[in-house]
Chain A
Amino acid sequence: MKTVNQKHQSVDGKGIMLGRPAYTDDLADPSSLIIKVLRSPHAFARIKSIDTKKAEKLPGVELVLTHHDVPRVSFTRAGQGYPEPSPHDKFVLDEYVRYVGDEVAVVAAIDESVAEAALDLIDVDYEVIDPVLDFEEAIDHQSVVHPEEGIHEMFPIGFEPKRNIAASYAMDFGDLDNAFKASDVVVEETFHTQAQAHVMMEPHAVNARLDFQDRLLIISATQTPFHVRRILSQTLDIPIEKIRVIKPRVGGGFGGKQALHGEMFAALVTMKTGKPSKLVYTRQEVFESTYTRHPMTLKVKLGATKDGRLNVIDWHVLSNTGAYGEHALTVFMVAGSKVMPLYNKVDAGRFHGEVVYTNTTPAGAYRGYGAIQGNFALESAIDMLCVKLGMDPIAFRQKNMMREGETSPIFEIMGEGTAGTAMTMETCKLDYCLTRGLELIDWNNKYPRTTTEDGKIRSVGMALAMQGSGIPYIDMGAATIKLNDAGFYNLTVGATEIGQGSDTVLSQIAAEALGVPLNKVIVYSSDTDLTPFDTGAYASSTTYVSGNAVYKAAMKMREMLLDEAAVVFGVEGDDIDFDGATFKNKADGKTISLEQLANRITYNEDQKQLTATSSYVGTKSPPPFMAGFIDIAVDKDTGEIDILDYVSVVDCGVPINPKLAQGQVEGGIVQGLGMACFEEVKRGKNGALISHDLLNYKIPTNVDIKKLTTEFAESHEASGPFGAKSVGEIGIDTPPAALANALYNALGIRLTSLPFTAEKIIRALHDKEGEKTT
């Protein structure tokens, strides 16, 4: 292959580094009204009255909106399929505020300082309500987070708002009781995962204006432009054809932009005033008023026979969706569906639980959603089981894990919000990933622990992981390829480049299929007027789903070109050889170049525009797999950890762009390490965030990450474009469990509550020593 699986710089990186305007705030209309949002100081309250008169009188204020001024239509901000599996439990503005940072009123003014001054002039009289802050206490709490009328589920998801339940789910297969009876060893443990913040470097931003056709133009840093268009239209009752959404360059998303944030307000302000408007979130708003990862409590019970056969996996999960139910059910289900199939030989399994409302910052989509929580619990529990069995954790995994050609009943039972899709693993190089990883980390010489020269304890730990590649029968991607004179192509895709490199990867797929160098494919994403539909950048779908659409469009374009060349030569398409650059008549060896042909049909003869559009919906979701290994040195006097290396061996099919794929894995690993080691959304007693800025919410830095070792297994997924599966999320899943297991190997302590701060490690060590002495 010439372009695919080759080293290529990204198509846009240099321009970005040179500072060419690309992001929402770079492109925003400089005359925009500035929007500021008055946010709730209370975790839960009802607005008894709100007086905006003083604010409206302030010179420079154009508009003040409260819940009295906006349509009362319930919706979900989550950009997912439609109808969404998320409950419609949100109003543009509401008389209730449900977390510190929830929206109370909106001001649009000529500049930022006027808008801010106006916020101070709004008088709100709140009836403060006892908030639900502990999600373990949420079900049937005396306070009901959503007492209001007019909210509903789109299809049955176990929505019981009067009980503070946003969604619930249960599934089982096999005979659970028998499977436990047949087990010689059972482990049972409860794991806790924390809220993590996305901390994409570009804050959420949106610019709205009315264009010269009097249509609403929205420029937004979003992962899902087409869902933004639909949700705005449905909620604000604007005809959908009157809305255009442009997704420019996006400065990171990780799921945090897979939902609407400022779009509703900017759209309303611009519709009402007729003027352009802009809302750029402050860093505090990003922390306080967008989303976090869903915190979960996972109770896991495993049973195995003496010889190391895993019989049964049983778990109950409680998930906290915060004030609103975006992605409530789907994230929850993924905790089981993208984790349990790793051990597909069990006789029985159960996965059930609830997703609850609380008065905290809403949880939403976040890279590896559900999977990282589930992976931490299951892969920790597996190591615990091995200890009890007296069995090597590697040998145990080799015996029980998923292998190529096998399947798991989970695939059919569990989808995202609905039933799933049965599939067998056409590609699963987990065995290779595991063996190669052991070599790279030098497991045999380091497991379970050694001592370093400076007296630290060095140890290793590992975990396996899997993901998906899009959501079958739901995620649809489409691509259009247009031939230009001189023989270069435009590729337009709805797929949303958000920094993950999809524009480059999709161009490579097109270039490979069309047989041209990468620079002959000019890519553009995404614009609801100009590019074909795509569900958006989530669920690790872009390379697999949108990539397949690009591949199909390119093949279609080739057919069209052959038809045109056939006219030139006066033969059938089959009689022509075409290598992407030159058409050759097999019979007489005569040739015409693509450039000549393109010029001919543009300017001279048989003039026409060639465009090929194709779309793709997955009929399965081939999982990428990986084995992750951590090498650490722990100071047992202070609990401080040095991360010496993280080895990832990944089966993502054929990496279309190996360097970018490596970047996806490594970026995921580092976010996962952040979650494992210290990242945590912290709240005060009244529910307000303590970690509302980068002084108080820490993410890993360059100095924390000295070495990452990343390799790819040789693998070719026949259903993927040029053999590819997904790689966007898989990297994030393993670090929590791998670190938990390494800490056990180092110190004999089993940490079950993320993150593993140095202080927690010391506390666990002291507890253990206390046990010994008493």
Chain B
Amino acid sequence: MKIASLYRPKDVEDALKVSRESTDTVVFGGGAWLKLSPRLVKRAVLLDDMDLATIETSDDAIRVGAMCTLRMVETHDAIAAIGSGIIVQALRQVMGVGLRNIATVGGSVMGKYGFSDVLPPLLALDAKLMFADAGEVSLASFMASKKRMNDIMLYVTIPRTKSVGFFKKVSTTPLDFSLLNITVCKTRDRVRVVLGSRPGGAMHQDVTSRLDLNTIPDEKTLDDVVREVLDAIPLGQNVRASKLYREQLAKTYVRRGVKEVMSREG
């Protein structure tokens, strides 16, 4: 990465305007991922002075600024309390503290990385994104859309719904990308399964209709749930794993995950 100049917008309008000036202008989160790209950046737009590195808690939601580092998020008590701590569990498996003190929530969302461990738990919890121009967009529709958003993300809102969760990252070493990650989350009225690093971007499937939310499912029910997830979410292959192996992982961990969340009080 070569950077010719830096720009620090003072407010959202300024940031939006500058960032849309040309394709050589790039909005920076922590810049850790951008550093790996060989591109030439004429103007790096730094959101450092825009008050986006705060976490605000209200009764029904937590608002995480785009410039919060992953480490800030994983060490936040209220966030750790959501969904049996699946967000924290997932973040703690992204490289080491040295990276997580740099990498931001904004960069992790806007990159929409197929390998992401950050997006699946947020998707499982029905998080919403706030953009400078587009306003509020649900993470689910953001993930489903193929369009590149030429916008600035301001914060992500995570509902504080009572929930139990399960997160599993399968990887060669803790520093590798996921071969597959599996998130399961149960709320009062919904059970959702998310598969990430398929190797494409995370996708979700609600399997509520197959389950009785007050009983632990039997093996037959679990078979049905697994089948529904595999039918709904396509898995593929890349250098890290074959389609067949990903399916094997999904079968195993969706089953384990659903069983686990269903056997816990939420």
Which A residues are within 8 Å of any B CB, using their own CB? 113, 635, 637-638, 640, 677-678, 682, 690, 694-696, 698-701, 703-704, 757-759, 762-763
Contacts and interface: CB of A to CB of B under 8 A. Distances in A.
Nearest to A691: B239
B176 A698 contact: yes
Q: Which of B173, B179, B239, B241 has the most C-beta atoms of chain A within 10 angstroms of its own C-beta? A: B173
B170 A638 contact: yes
Contacts of A638: 170, 248-249, 252-253
Contact of B170 (A113, A640, A694, A703): A640
Nearest to B2: A113
B242 interface: yes
B234 interface: no
12 contacts: A637-B252, A638-B170, A638-B248, A638-B252, A695-B177, A699-B173, A757-B172, A758-B170, A758-B245, A759-B179, A759-B242, A762-B245
B239 A701 contact: no
A719 B173 CA distance: 43
B248 A762 contact: yes
Contacts of A637: 248, 251-252
A678 B173 contact: yes
Q: Which of A635, A678, A698, A704 has the most C-beta atoms of chain B within 10 angstroms of its own C-beta? A: A698
A711 B142 CA distance: 56
A704 B252 contact: no
Contact of B241 (A635, A640, A698, A759): A759
B150 to A, nearest CB: 27
Q: Which of A113, A694, A701 has the most C-beta atoms of chain B within 10 angstroms of its own C-beta? A: A701
Contacts of A678: 172-173
B174 interface: yes
B6 to A, nearest CB: 17
A704 B174 contact: yes
Size band of the B side of the interface?
10 to 19
Contact of A682 (B172, B175, B239, B248): B239
Contacts of B239: 682, 690, 696
Contacts of A694: 175
A704 B249 contact: no
Contacts of A762: 245, 248
A695 B177 CA distance: 8
Contacts of B170: 638, 640, 758
A763 B253 CA distance: 18
A701 B242 contact: no
A635 B251 CA distance: 14
A12 to B, nearest CB: 25
Given A682-B239, A759-B241, A762-B245, A703 B252 contact: no
Nearest to A765: B248
Contacts of A701: 173-175
A674 to B, nearest CB: 9
B240 to A, nearest CB: 9
Nearest to B249: A638
Contacts of B174: 701, 703-704
Q: Which of A677, A696, A704, A758 has the most C-beta atoms of chain B within 10 angstroms of its own C-beta? A: A758
Nearest to A679: B172
Contacts of A700: 173
Given A113-B2, A762-B245, A698 B252 contact: no
Contact of B175 (A113, A698, A757, A758): A698
Given A698-B172, A758-B245, 9 more contacts: A113-B2, A638-B252, A682-B239, A698-B176, A703-B174, A704-B173, A704-B174, A759-B242, A762-B248
B36 to A, nearest CB: 8
Contacts of B175: 694, 698, 701
A763 B173 CA distance: 20
Contacts of B251: 637
Interface in B145-170: 170
Contacts of A690: 239
Contacts of A695: 177
A758 B178 CA distance: 13
A122 to B, nearest CB: 17
B248 A698 contact: no
Contacts of B252: 635, 637-638
Nearest to A684: B239
Contacts of B2: 113
Nearest to A700: B173
B46 to A, nearest CB: 21
Contacts of B177: 695
A690 B239 CA distance: 9
A694 B99 CA distance: 14
A638 B247 CA distance: 10
Nearest to A755: B172
Contacts of B245: 758-759, 762-763
Nearest to A696: B239
A698 B249 CA distance: 20
Contacts of B172: 677-678, 698, 757-758
Contacts of B241: 759
A672 to B, nearest CB: 15
Given A637-B252, A638-B252, A698 B173 contact: yes
A677 B172 CA distance: 9
A223 to B, nearest CB: 27
A638 B174 CA distance: 16
Nearest to A699: B173
A771 B2 CA distance: 56
B83 to A, nearest CB: 23
A684 to B, nearest CB: 9
Contacts of B248: 637-638, 762
A633 to B, nearest CB: 15
A324 B249 CA distance: 41
A763 B241 CA distance: 12
Q: Which of B175, B251, B253 has the most C-beta atoms of chain A within 10 angstroms of its own C-beta? A: B175
A59 B252 CA distance: 61
Nearest to B171: A698
A762 B246 CA distance: 11
A758 B245 CA distance: 9
Nearest to B248: A762
A88 B172 CA distance: 39
Interface in B73-116: none
Interface string B215-256: 000000000000000000000000101100100110111000
A677 B173 CA distance: 10
A638 B241 CA distance: 12
Nearest to B246: A759
Contacts of B253: 638
A113 B239 CA distance: 32
A171 B24 CA distance: 64
A327 B176 CA distance: 32
A756 to B, nearest CB: 12
B28 to A, nearest CB: 20
A113 B177 CA distance: 31
A715 to B, nearest CB: 35
A690 B238 CA distance: 11
A139 to B, nearest CB: 29
Contacts of A677: 172
Contacts of B242: 759
Nearest to A636: B252
A698 B179 CA distance: 13
A759 B171 CA distance: 11
A682 to B, nearest CB: 6
B245 to A, nearest CB: 4
A486 to B, nearest CB: 46
A640 B179 CA distance: 12
Contacts of B173: 678, 698-701, 703-704
A600 B251 CA distance: 83
